[in-house]
Amino acid sequence: MLTTPWALWGLLAVPALVAIYWLRNRFRQMPVSSLMLWRDQKEARQGGFRIRRLQTPLLFFLELLALVLLVGAAAGPSVSMPSANRPLVVVLDDSYSMQAGGDDSPRKLAEKALLEELDRGIRYSVRFVLAGETAQLVGEPVRTTGEARAILTGWHCQSATAQLPRAMALARALCGDDAGILVLSDQPPAIELEKGQIQWWAFGKPRPNIAFVNASRTARDNTDRCLLEIANLSDQAQESPIVVKTKDGSVLHRATLSLGPQEAHRLVLRFKEDTPEIYAQLGPDELDFDNQVVLLPEKQTPVRVELRIKDETLRPLLDKALRATRRVHLTDVHPDILFVDKTGVEPVGPDTWLVEWHEEKEGESYVGPFVLDRNHPLLEGLSLQGVVWGAGKREVFPGTPLLLAGNVPLITDTESTMGRRHLRVRLQPELSTVQDTPQWPILIWNLVHWRAAHAPGLDRINLRLGESAVLTVPAGVETVELQSPGAKGRTLTVQGRQVTIKPPLAGLHEVRAGETTFFLAANPLSRDESDLTACASGRWGEWADRSAEEMESRHFAWILLLLAAAVLTVHMGLMRGGTS
């Protein structure tokens, strides 16, 4: 293809060059001693009007070649060839319904179709976006089928949901509006596709499925209670065996479930308090991923409390409220919370929280208005409407106010650099009614629960896939190591002695924090994701002007110019050397 074909008129200079060499006179050089006896001493002419045999020295061919190259470059030659930089963003549905069907699963069919598209010879610059609970970019841009296949090995399809709209928005942000977006899923598009930019390929089909949709485990009164909910997510009756056993293989429960269409069955089991982790398994079906759960025992470490209270009125009030929480162990050995009714007491340990109760000689009964810090865990759910609170009259009190009666602080909080708390409470029971209302046990429960949340350990150990747990680590630990089943370990950074852990895969996970190891379980319990009745196959949308995008023009006039420059350089060298 020539962009400026009129430049070919320059080839008319070729006959002119031939004429120059054809019409010129050629004389053979002959050395002589003198020109004195020559009758005609005029200079020989290089050209003339007499036609002689064409002389074709090397310089002629170099000049002819240079002339042809320059005219060719001026004509702007180009060639159409497959584009090597056509941007394509592939959005991968990472939800676990993509595993349904085994070897005929949407995930495998989608991978096969994508690789066939790349093998067609259409060259793309491909990027991948994984659509799970969040949208995330995977790897670097690739241009070969082998590179794409390597990235697809990390497509596990174990997310509890797929945020496809967010992933498509990320795809647009990465490559702009000119990029082609290809969505691979097992569901038809739930939104209207933008014309000319998005193609949606679905590889699912309706399948019957029985799955766990709920699972929990709690400990109370020396008994371990387990709840399992199983649903038949199909339009026909189905049966499935269920086995519940411990890690060593001891069977705790075995039965066969008969479920009608869209019917759910709740199974409540009770075990001994010291039962280790339990595994529940359903029979095989179209989607085996949601046929098993693992539940760890919910062990609540008691909060150690020391009551160093001498006031005979306040001590029984605190003792009764603390015991009612059922999370307290009264002891004077390494207490987590130390209650005192005098100032100047030093905590007995680096992690001991100090709670000072102040009873001033001059007091007043306050009926409000009370100002509460609703964002503070100590005051969560607390309501002081109609409550009388007796305290001193001083408006200046150490610490950050959490509860005030007008401008008089009643509860203050001070945090040390190591995270230890120092609470100061002003209360005179004889002038108050708060201890006779439900607000009193709520206040004490909040304190115990708040302290327990800051003890080393996980706030939750049995999670739904996609949920997070907060781990509080021992003092001095800056990073933790998360080891997930079948995946490489990940290092997480601790901030403020806490780190949020979101298991990326289902199963039992191990968290190492210094010399301490914690465990947590993540189970696929999404009813919507296990319901395969809405899955479908098909292709929707198209890319604009696909044929034009698949080809691009490559100009190579610069190559001809470089060759012409090289030829002229050789010509110049021969002229200076005297060669003709």
> Domains plus CATH for the chain?
5-28+43-77+556-577 (no CATH), 86-206+534-554 (3.40.50.410), 210-300+525-530 (2.60.40.10), 303-453 (3.40.50.880), 458-523 (2.60.40.10)
Residue 550 has a pLDDT of 47
**Torsion sign over Cα 501, 505, 510, 513:** negative
What residues have CB less than 8 Å from 251, skipping those under 6 apart? 243, 244, 245
What is residue 281's three-state secondary structure? strand
Q: How far apart are CA 168 and CA 163, in angstroms?
A: 9
* Residue 252 contacts residue 268 (beta carbons within 8 Å): no
Residue 39 has a pLDDT of 61
Determine which helix (DSSP H) or strand (DSSP E) holds 563, and give its type and residue range. Answer: helix 557-577
Q: How far apart are CA 205 and CA 534, in angstroms?
A: 8
Distances in Å between the Cα of 458 and the Cα atoms of 445, 454, 489, 518, 540 are: 19, 10, 19, 8, 45
CA angle 99, 104, 110 (to 5 degrees): 70
**What is the edge-to-edge ordering of all strands in the sheet holding 353-358?**
328-330, 303-308, 337-340, 353-358, 421-426, 408-415, 400-405, 370-372
Residue 316 has a pLDDT of 93
Peptide bond into 87 cis (omega under 30): no
What is residue 50's three-state secondary structure? coil
**What is the edge-to-edge ordering of all strands in the sheet holding 223-232?**
210-220, 223-232, 264-272
Q: How far apart are CA 345 and CA 322, in angstroms?
A: 21
Residue 501 has a pLDDT of 94
The interaxial angle of helices 106-119 and 145-152, nearest 10 deg, is 160
- Residue 74: phi, psi to the nearest 5? -65, -25
Other beta carbons within 10 angstroms of residue 260's beta carbon come to 12
Q: Which one, of 285, 278, 208, lies nearest residue 243 by Cα?
A: 278
- Residue 545: phi, psi to the nearest 5? 45, 55
Reading the chain (580 residues) residue by residue, the pLDDT tens digits are: 677 778 788 888 888 877 777 765 455 667 777 766 666 555 544 444 454 554 557 777 888 888 888 888 888 887 765 554 568 899 999 999 999 998 899 999 999 999 998 887 666 689 999 999 999 999 888 888 889 999 999 899 999 999 999 999 999 888 777 778 999 999 999 888 878 789 999 999 999 999 999 999 988 777 889 999 999 999 999 999 999 999 888 999 999 999 999 999 999 999 887 889 999 999 999 999 999 999 999 877 889 999 999 989 999 999 999 999 988 999 988 899 999 988 888 877 778 999 999 887 788 999 988 999 989 999 999 999 999 999 988 877 888 999 999 889 999 999 887 778 999 999 999 999 999 999 999 999 999 999 988 888 898 999 999 999 999 888 788 999 999 987 888 999 998 788 999 998 999 999 999 888 999 999 999 999 999 999 999 999 887 654 444 455 677 788 888 888 888 888 788 777 764 4
Q: How far apart are CA 292 and CA 277, in angstroms?
A: 13
Q: DSSP string spanning 116-176?
A: HHHHTS--EEEEEEEESSSEEEEEEEE-SHHHHHHHHTT----BS---HHHHHHHHHHHH-
Tell me 196's DSSP state. Answer: B
Residue with the two structure tokens 């098993």: 292
Other beta carbons within 10 angstroms of residue 60's beta carbon come to 16
* Residue 514 contacts residue 476 (beta carbons within 8 Å): yes
Displacement of CA 530 from its chain's centroid (Å): 22
Residue 85 has a pLDDT of 57
